[in-house]
Structures are given as C-alpha cells and as structure tokens.
Amino acid sequence: MRALILIEHVNGTVSESAFELARLAKSIGAECQGFVCAGDAEAVSALASQLNGFDSVLGVADAAVEHYNPDAILTALSNVVETHVPDLVMTSYSTAGVDLASALAVRSDRQMLGYVTAIESVDNKLSITSQVYGGKLMAQTSVQLPAVIAVMPGAAKAGEVSGAAPSLTMIDVDLSGTRIRVSELILPDSSGVNLADADKIVCVGRALGGVEKLPMVERLVMSLKAEIAGSRPVIDAGWLPKVRQVGKSGTKVKPKLYLMAGVSGAPEHLEGMESSELIIAINSDEQAPIFRKAHYGAVCDMFQLLPALTERLENGG
C-alpha cells in the first residue's frame, strides 16, 4: 500500500502535520510518499530534505504555487494522483486539507472521509474512525481503496519519522490554465503581540456572546499576567483582532498554560494549541470535543466561574 501525503509548509519549514500523517501511514504498513509544491526547484529540494523517514517525494516547482493557491495545487495534485495512482491520499484536516481533499476525491472518483482520528488496514480496506456532529460522536467506517482522507491534528504523535532523507522526483505539470492568481501576500500587523512566545493564554470562544463581555475576560487575563486570544468565530465576529487568533489559520501556540472558555474544540483550533503544556477547558456542554484534548475541564457557566476565579486570584488565592 502506498500513501501520498500532502506536505504543508510555511516560510520554508515543513508543517508538523506531515510527520503526523507519515506516522499514521506507517502504522498500517503503508509506503510514505510526500507531495511538495513550491515556487522553484531549490525550494522543493529544501523542503524534501526535511522529510526524513519518508520513502520518496514527488515535487512540483512553479511560480503558480509559490504561495498557497488551491486551484493550482489541486491541478498538480490531481495530475500526480492520476499518473502515480497511490492507494491512499492523506491530507491534514486543515484549511488547505479541507480545500483540496474533497475536490480531489471528486476529480479522481475516490471515496473521501474527513475528521479522521484513527485508521486500520483490513483486507485491502481501511477501517476508519472519524468524528461526526462536531466530535460528539465517533463513527466507524469501512472504506474501499483507493481513497482520500483528511486527518485530524493530533491523530498521531508529531515528530520526525525515523529514517534517511528520501529520494526526490520532480514532476512537470502544466499550470498555465490556473484560474486563480495570488497578486499579493498580506501579513497581519502583529501590533507587538506575539502569542507564540506567551507563557499563559486565556482563549475565548463563540459562547462569549459579544464584545461587551470582553472586560470580564480581560480582568482575568491581567490577574494571570497572560495574553488574551480567541477562536476563529470570535475573530470573524470582530471581537478581537486577527493577530489574537489561535488555530490553523491563526497562530500556533505552546504556552505553559492554555485556559479556554466557551471553545468547543473545532479541528482548526486544536491544531493551533494542542502542544500546550497544560490545557484547561471551561464549557457548559459536557459533550464538547475540547474535553478530549484538555488535561482538566469544568462543565459549568463561564460567566459564573471566570469572575469567581478572577476574584480568587486578585485576593491572593
């Protein structure tokens, strides 16, 4: 069995998700083949050299994929799947993975499953465990190969896969018909905020209810000498600036303390904070997926607990 793994990368560094996917593929005895897109051959080679433990790498170098471009990368990925016919295509359940996995499945006429948390190989079929209803239930599905799967962050431990640097084969793909062009890359203004370096973070989710409730959280943040952050719905609603978003499309953090209030635990958010040393979740829904990731959790009303916790801290408790 051969698994083709979409390699995500930022600023010349391979994402940890690549190694998580490789570990998961190797756990079912699959050969790991990476797929790398970058602006030129030198960049592709530099990324491939980081993939120790992969059996091989296929690379596409083109100005159309210098920055993330779903149309161009889908064309390149579809071409590679058609010509190299892997048994399994694996993506992370990330912004890029969600963009590409389902579209690839349609183009290649393959079965596709998302929110994957575990896989087993049984008689040329995959027995796949995946989340449904926002993680409140787990489903067991038998999938016939060939297939496409989008894997939840944390389904397998990160870290390099043991082994030597893989061989690299460059693939020529005509991307001249790409309909999307990246005209400019605009980075957010950090305004002096660097969540990646914070030791303590208090993150609020959609359940906060509105920007008028932020002073309650900010008071706790001051007591803890922490930074305030938000999940994507909070940022999209404009309650906090983009620079304070934690998640796949925000900032990845590794604080000593990550305290969440009203965060359900969407895959996009989990990928950004799963490496935190101590994770504490507060949510009124006892079935919230975040409780599977948290070290400690409280099923209660955040509007009662947070002020009480703040008062305790201010009084030296």
| Domains of the chain, CATH where assigned | 2-170 (3.40.50.620), 195-314 (3.40.50.1220)
- Alpha carbons 195 and 253: distance in angstroms, whole number: 6
- Alpha carbons 196 and 17: distance in angstroms, whole number: 18
User: pLDDT digit string (tens) for 269-306?
Assistant: 888 898 899 999 999 999 898 998 899 999 999 999 99
User: pLDDT digit string (tens) for 164-182?
Assistant: 789 999 999 999 999 999 9
Residue 191: its pLDDT value, please? 63
The CA radius of gyration of the chain, in Å to the nearest whole number, is: 21
The DSSP bridge partners found for residue 143 are: 126
Residue 107: its pLDDT value, please? 95
User: pLDDT digit string (tens) for 174-216?
Assistant: 999 999 999 888 776 656 678 888 999 999 999 999 999 999 9
Q: How many CB atoms lie within 10 A of CB 139?
A: 13
